[in-house]
């Protein structure tokens, strides 16, 4: 029998809250000219993270929700990377001082689809345009099926600190249903190659709620993955939105698990990883106790950004590449999504920004509330409201979503503090949504809450 609260809240389509406001409220009023001014306004003392999007894969995984396309040839990738290098120079030209970059993240797609020589050239372009040194942390997303020994060596040469490997599921039936066949041995070899070249941090991504996935298969995958002792896990629920991602139509909806089964799978993976010595962090991450993210969580310093949970925060996120989303103290910006049109804009010596969002004082207040809920499962509304010069009643009183959650026992509210009860932490996105002023306006592209 499905738990009534899983049925009530688990099927709702809600944001993952890697930003606030979330991307559906971005609009075209924020374009290249605005972004250029925002870059010029960045303070000299600001710290930055750099995100580079590589929207190419060797084959399409049918569950994928990322902006990517299939390319089995090098020329399209090489042409695109040249545009990214030019964009880096263009962004730097709008700054009034060198931007200190403390973190670089290559995402995709499959960043390691590029040739090793192209990776070295791209890193050279980033170093030439931003303040990057040996203290800058470098992270990259990897498809273990295509990681070559030469690319692994190159990653070591450029100083890669952390690699995130897509695993998703080791169940062969599930893999065939999502068009991603990947053996345990392929994954093991990729981990071995990365560790041999000095990559100190290894992350795994797992997904529950996939076609044909069961509690037993989730446990088997988690146990096998944990045996390789990655430093961190990110465990996501599959978001089936075929109207938004047309390749997801290849997945048979009849074999997708329902809300109750999805919740059971998530709990089974969590229990398995905890038993293997991992600490649960926030909604969907796990880490070994000595990992920096686990330490940040214990110390109340955990942050949430477009890559999920993070141990550090930055004033600026400079995002390069098609569809990438950046952040400045003034607001959010997003580049042209189609890589061909993105390349055309850069070739015309224009910033690729096509939409964004200018933050208001209320947005900043609500963003902090939501981040603390997502990171700590609790938020001191009164303290944060005082810091922002806001009356806490604006988000506590007459809040029908929050009151319903309290009546259902999902949260406790006392003394201006909201706490998610331990048994219902899997519904934390529903709690965060209670502070979201835009939640009822955009829902089509969001994933289920549980």
For residue 113, give the CATH number of its domain: 3.80.30.20
Task: Give the whole-angstrom CA distance, residue 238 versus residue 234.
Answer: 12
The number of domains in the chain is 1
Per the domain annotation, does 206 fall within a domain?
yes
Task: Give the whole-angstrom CA distance, residue 123 versus residue 361.
Answer: 37
Q: What is the DSSP letter of 19?
A: S
For residue range 104-157, list pLDDT tens digits in order. 999 999 999 999 999 999 999 999 999 999 999 999 999 999 999 999 999 999
Per the domain annotation, does 339 fall within a domain?
no
Mean pLDDT within 168-195: 98
Per the domain annotation, does 399 fall within a domain?
no
* pLDDT tops 90 at residue 360: yes
For residue range 319-328, list pLDDT tens digits in order. 999 999 999 9
> Domain range holding 160?
4-320
Where would I find the beta strands (DSSP E) of 222-315?
Answer: 232-237, 279-281, 285-287, 303-305, 308-310
**86 in Cβ contact with 26 (< 8 Å):** no
Per the domain annotation, does 411 fall within a domain?
no
Q: For the chain, how are helix, strand and coil distributed in percent, rounded to 5?
A: 40, 20, 35
For residue range 84-109, list pLDDT tens digits in order. 999 999 999 999 999 999 999 999 99
282: phi then psi, degrees, rounded to nearest 5: 60, -150
**Nearest by Cα to 165 from 189, 187, 149, 197:** 187
Mean pLDDT within 275-297: 96
Question: Is this model's pTM higher than 0.85 or not?
Answer: yes
- Calculate the average pLDDT of the chain: 94
| Assigned token pair, 405 | 């959650």
**Nearest by Cα to 84 from 128, 41, 40:** 128
**What are 131's strand-pairing partners?**
100
Q: Which of the four pLDDT bands, split at 50, 70 and 90, describes residue 443?
A: very low
State the number of CA atoms in the 13 A half-sphere of 255 facing the CB: 14
Q: What pLDDT is stored for residue 440 in this prediction?
A: 79
Per the domain annotation, does 253 fall within a domain?
yes
State the number of CA atoms in the 13 A half-sphere of 130 facing the CB: 32
**330 in Cβ contact with 361 (< 8 Å):** no
Per the domain annotation, does 108 fall within a domain?
yes
Three-class secondary structure assignment of 294-324: HHHHHCCCCEEECCEEECCCCCEEEEECCCC
**Nearest by Cα to 112 from 84, 87, 159, 77:** 77
Per the domain annotation, does 412 fall within a domain?
no
For residue range 35-54, list pLDDT tens digits in order. 999 999 999 999 999 999 99
* pLDDT tops 80 at residue 445: no
The separation between the first and the last C-alpha atoms of the chain, rounded to the nearest angstrom, is 16
Burial of 7 (0-12, 13-18, 19+ CB in 10 A): middle
**Nearest by Cα to 346 from 50, 82, 126:** 82
Q: Which of the four pLDDT bands, split at 50, 70 and 90, describes residue 67?
A: confident
**30 in Cβ contact with 358 (< 8 Å):** yes
Per the domain annotation, does 228 fall within a domain?
yes
């Amino acid at each position: 029998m499905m738990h009534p609260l899983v049925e009530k809240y688990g099927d709702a389509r809600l944001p993952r809250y890697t930003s606030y406001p979330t991307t559906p409220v971005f609009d075209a009023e924020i374009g290249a000219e605005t972004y250029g001014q925002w870059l010029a306004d960045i303070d000299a003392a600001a710290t930055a993270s750099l995100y580079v999007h590589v929207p190419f894969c060797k084959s399409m995984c049918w569950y994928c929700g990322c902006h990517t396309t299939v390319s089995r040839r090098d020329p399209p990738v090489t042409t695109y990377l040249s545009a990214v290098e030019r964009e880096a120079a263009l962004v730097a030209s709008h700054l009034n001082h060198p931007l200190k970059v403390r973190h670089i993240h290559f995402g995709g797609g499959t960043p390691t689809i590029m040739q090793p020589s192209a990776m070295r050239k791209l890193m050279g372009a980033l170093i030439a345009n931003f303040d990057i040194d040996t203290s800058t942390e470098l992270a990259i997303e990897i498809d273990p099926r295509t990681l070559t020994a030469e690319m692994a060596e190159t990653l070591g040469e450029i100083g890669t600190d952390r690699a995130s490997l897509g695993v998703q599921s080791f169940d062969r039936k599930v893999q065939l249903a999502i068009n991603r066949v990947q053996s345990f041995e392929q994954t093991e070899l990729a981990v071995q190659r990365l560790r041999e070249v000095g990559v100190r941090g290894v992350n795994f991504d797992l997904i529950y709620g996939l076609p044909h996935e069961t509690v037993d298969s989730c446990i088997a995958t988690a146990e096998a993955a944990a045996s390789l002792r990655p430093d961190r896990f990110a465990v996501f629920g599959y978001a089936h939105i075929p109207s938004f991602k047309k390749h997801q139509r290849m997945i048979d909806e009849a074999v997708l698990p329902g809300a109750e089964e999805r919740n059971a799978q998530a709990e089974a993976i969590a229990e398995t990883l905890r038993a293997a010595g991992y600490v649960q962090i926030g909604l969907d991450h796990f880490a070994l106790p000595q990992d920096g993210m686990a330490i940040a969580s214990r110390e109340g310093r955990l942050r949430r950004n477009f890559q999920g949970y993070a141990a550090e925060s930055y004033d600026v996120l400079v995002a390069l590449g098609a569809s990438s989303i950046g952040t400045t103290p003034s607001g959010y910006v997003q580049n042209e999504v189609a890589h061909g049109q993105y390349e055309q804009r850069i070739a015309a010596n224009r910033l690729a920004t096509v939409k964004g969002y200018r933050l208001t004082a209320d947005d900043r207040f609500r963003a902090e509330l939501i981040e603390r809920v997502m990171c700590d499962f609790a938020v001191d509304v009164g303290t944060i409201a005082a810091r922002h010069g806001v009356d806490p009643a604006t988000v506590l009183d007459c809040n029908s979503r929050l009151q319903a959650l309290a009546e259902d026992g999902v949260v406790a509210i006392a003394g201006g503090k909201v706490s998610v009860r331990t048994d219902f932490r899997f519904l934390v996105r529903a709690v965060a949504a209670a502070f979201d002023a835009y939640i009822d306006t955009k829902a089509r592209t969001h994933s289920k809450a549980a």
